[in-house]
Amino acid sequence: MRDNRRLVFVIVAVTVLFAAVDAAWLPFSMVSLDPRNISQLAKIAGGFLAAYLIGRFVIYRVRGDASRAAGGLRWIANSLIALVSISALFLPLGFVTGVFMYLASATDMPLIDGSLAAVDAALGFHWPSFLATANGSPVFALALVVAYHSLTAQIIVLFVGYSAAQRADKLLEFVALLAVSSVFTAALMASFPTAGAYAHFQPAPEAFDAFTTKAGMWHYSELLRLRSGEAFNLFVAEAEGLVTFPSYHTAVGIMVVYSLRHIRPAAAPAAILNSIMIVGTLPEGGHHLTDVIAGAVVAVTSILAIRVVLARRQEQYVPGQAPTAPYPSLFADRLEGDR
């Protein structure tokens, strides 16, 4: 329970941080918030509230009923409550980070794609050559496309699965990872603006015809509008993903696998899928190799940060007794179960 409170605090603190930065930045930006955002948020909040109240009502109605049917209804209701409660934390986080992404992209700072391509070259990686190799194998290209576009579905499955398993702690940990990684990603994308490998190398259409039509370029027209300095009215529900450095697909893919680390039947398939997905960020996502490396660093740093948050224990001192150990044994739960 104490760990859950820490994770909620992290999520709320990051959300408040982004909200404060957005509020301070918006008056000085050409980006403005569309009034439709308010009605959209109100509808979603109303749906969350209705689902939560339905879950509570079901639990109230079957109280004291020991039948199997009542137990099934309680399980459904508790799963619904967990899903709605944590989604209600995730929604504001997604909104304020989405606004920040557009504010940070509305800049005239020089793009650094050339520098990233140079770093890639120093590492022995040539993006156009890799694109040609991947495009030359339709089966390989299809695997990369499917894996790359599976990330949203993976997140939905994670939310629903943990809620159904009554593992709010695992779902809170994952959302906290998203929150912390958003801070690192925001700092990097605001400091080092990029347009992506497709915009930089400008390959001919036939060079990537095994991939989707707008591979790595679906964000580009939006980015150019933001960088032009013209007024931009933002409706967050229709926002494009504008982050190219670091690769957030890479960061989230690694964090999904980390979240599933104790669920072996799911961890191995997720690791394979997301390994393919990370490769797919290069030709389908239009990322430089340096973007992918930076995304991996963001993921590992975020995981370490959350591990530190969860490892901290305040010593409890009782007069006449030795203080409790600040770091309980890793085997404590197993030993407790063996008694």
- The answer to whether the CB of 204 falls within 8 A of the CB of 294 is no
Residue 2: what pLDDT?
75
Residue 64: what pLDDT?
85
How far apart CA 335 and CA 339 sit, in angstroms, is 7
Whether 36 is covered by a domain: the verdict is: yes
Residue 299, both tokens: 């993921």
- The answer to whether the CB of 26 falls within 8 A of the CB of 32 is yes
Q: What is the DSSP code (8-state) at residue 32?
A: E
- The answer to whether the CB of 151 falls within 8 A of the CB of 241 is no
Residue 337, both tokens: 């179960």
Whether 330 is covered by a domain: the verdict is: no
The radius of gyration of the chain's CA atoms, rounded to the nearest angstrom, is 23
Which structural domain, as residue segments, surrounds residue 82?
2-313
Query: pTM for the complete prediction?
Result: 0.88
Residue 231, both tokens: 């007024």
Whether 318 is covered by a domain: the verdict is: no
- The answer to whether the CB of 251 falls within 8 A of the CB of 51 is no
Residue 4: what pLDDT?
87
Whether 44 is covered by a domain: the verdict is: yes
Whether 320 is covered by a domain: the verdict is: no
List the beta bridge partners of residue 232. Answer: 31
DSSP SS3 for 120: helix
Domain count, the chain: 1
Residue 48, both tokens: 């969350």
How far apart CA 60 and CA 122 sit, in angstroms, is 64
Q: Provide block-wise average pLDDT over 10 residues at a time, the chain (339 residues).
A: 88 97 96 95 95 94 89 93 94 96 95 97 96 95 96 95 92 96 96 96 94 91 93 93 94 97 91 97 96 98 95 50 37 34
Residue 313: what pLDDT?
54
- The answer to whether the CB of 84 falls within 8 A of the CB of 53 is no
Whether 225 is covered by a domain: the verdict is: yes
